[in-house]
Structure 1
Amino acid sequence: MRRARQLKSRAERLSAPKKDDISPKRAPRSPAFSQALTNARSYAKDPERLRQLFKEAVKKAPTIPRDPFKDLWAYFQAMLRLIRAYYRREYRNVPLQNLVMIVGAIIYILNPFDLIPDWIAGLGFADDAVVLAFAVRQTRQTLDDFMTWEIASRERPAL
């Protein structure tokens, strides 16, 4: 029980926003995150795998508690929309490195057996929030550019 409190406290400190900084600067040290990034490289090259990942993430999203992801939920949703637009070839202005980071974060979040298993009440999604915060920090400009593109494409008159 003491170890669980220590892990939760550490995860909260790592994921707590600091002024304009919403995430940790260093990559989370986790074999599960390293594996997710390795898997993400192959997903990034295969539109069908990206489509399957998107479908799985959309299916799981309603079951993810919002509390650990407070300030990051909009970016999580933007990541999912970016993946959809990418595999549909609607939006391709994504550096491969950033696509891999985004896909890796989604893979990690979908994995219930990561650093802290998701079924541990009050703690299971803390590590997911840290990974998501790190991914947002690394890809924020790409995500912001994508969201700007989304708004602009909605405003374009149909021909």
Structure 2
Amino acid sequence: MAESTPLIQRILQSLFFREAQKKASRSARNPAFLLDLITKVLRTSNKGAIIHDVQEKLGLLTRLIRAYAKGEYRQLPWKSVVLTVAVLIYFVSPIDVIPDLLPIIGFTDDIALLVWLFRTISNDLDTFKVWEAEQAIPVDPQ
């Protein structure tokens, strides 16, 4: 697991994140819920000033969960599925450790948590990237 900063520890131990984890555990097997969550994540990510690298990796993460929800990709360990869904639920929630309604600093906890997730599941993201690239290669019918 990735090294945690005091802010990440505070977020992970918060009531907000624990509730997101509970909801993720109940909902991560529901494709409709996951696809709706991805729509909310994309809408939320377009609102804030998110660093380009985070935006790019968030795009990868949404493609991963979309492929998982559609049953196209199942190489993601269940623990990573639940953790990712919990982080995305936390991300789209305007009320959390640092409320998103606060200008500029409102997304600080969300971005910190996303960066922590990217580090924590980096091997899973790398595996998905390889799989995704292979899907784009047309198969020669010979």
Show the 5 A alignment for 1:7-18. Answer: none
Match of 1:125, SS state, is helix
Equivalent of residue 4 in structure 2, options 20, 24, 28: 24
Equivalent of residue 73 in structure 2, options 85, 91, 105: 91
Q: Can you list the C-alpha shifts for 1:78-136, whole angstroms capped at 9, x where unaligned?
A: 11001110111111111000011111111111000011111111210000011112211
Q: Is 1:48–2:32 an aligned residue pair?
A: yes
Question: Is this contact kept in 2: 1:36–1:107, CA < 8 A?
Answer: yes
Show the 5 A alignment for 1:68-87. Answer: 70-87=52-69
Query: Runs ≥4 in structure 1, deviation > 6 angstroms?
Result: none
Q: What amino acid is the match of 1:48?
A: A
Aligned to 1:143: 125
Which piece of structure 1 moves more, 137-146 or 57-66?
57-66
**RMSD of aligned C-alpha atoms?**
2.0
Inter-partner Cα distance in structure 2 for 1:91 and 1:47: 12
User: Structure 1 vs Structure 2: percent identity of aligned residues?
Assistant: 29
Inter-partner Cα distance in structure 2 for 1:34 and 1:134: 16
The runs of 5 or more residues in structure 2 that have no matched partner are none
Aligned to 1:9: none
Q: What amino acid is the match of 2:102?
A: I
Q: What amino acid is the match of 1:60?
A: T
Query: CA 1:111–1:158 in 2, change beyond 3 Å: closer, same or farther?
Result: farther
**TM-score, reference length from structure 1:** 0.77
Question: Is this contact kept in 2: 1:112–1:118, CA < 8 A?
Answer: yes
Displacement of 1:158 after TM fit? 6.5
**TM-score, reference length from structure 2:** 0.85
